[in-house]
Amino acid sequence: MDCIFCKIIIGKAEAVFLHEDDLVVAFLDIMPVNEGHALVVPREHHERVETLDEATYLHLFKIGRDLMRQIQTAFADVTAFNFIIANGKDAGQEVPHVHLHIIPRKLGDGFGYKFGPNYGKIVSIDERKATAKKILDR
Ligand SMILES: [Zn+2]
pLDDT over threshold 80, residue 1: no
| Confidence band for 136, pLDDT divided at 50, 70 and 90 | very high
Query: In angstroms, rounded to a whole number, what is the distance separating the alpha carbons of residues 44 and 22?
Result: 10
CA of 115 to the centre of ligand 1 (A): 30
Among candidate residues 37, 59, 97, 99, the one labeled active-site is 99
* pLDDT tens figures, 51-92: 999 999 999 999 999 999 999 999 999 999 999 999 999 999
Which amino acid is present at 121? K
34 C-alpha vs ligand 1 centroid, how far in Å?
24
Closest by CA position to 43, among listed 62, 26, 30, 67 = 26
CA of 124 to the centre of ligand 1 (A): 42
Q: Average the pLDDT over 7-33 and give the result.
A: 98
Domain of residue 115, residue span = 4-136
* Alpha helices per DSSP H over 52-124: 54-74
88: CATH: 3.30.428.10
**Edge-to-edge strand list for the sheet holding 80-84:** 17-20, 24-28, 38-42, 100-105, 80-84
Percent of the chain at pLDDT > 70 equals 99
Q: What rounded mean pLDDT belongs to the chain?
A: 96
Asked if the model's pLDDT at residue 138 lies above 80, the reply is no
The reply to whether 37 belongs to the active site is: no
What is the distance in A from the centroid of ligand 1 to the CA of 64? 19
Q: What is the pLDDT of residue 102?
A: 98
Q: How many domains does the chain have?
A: 1
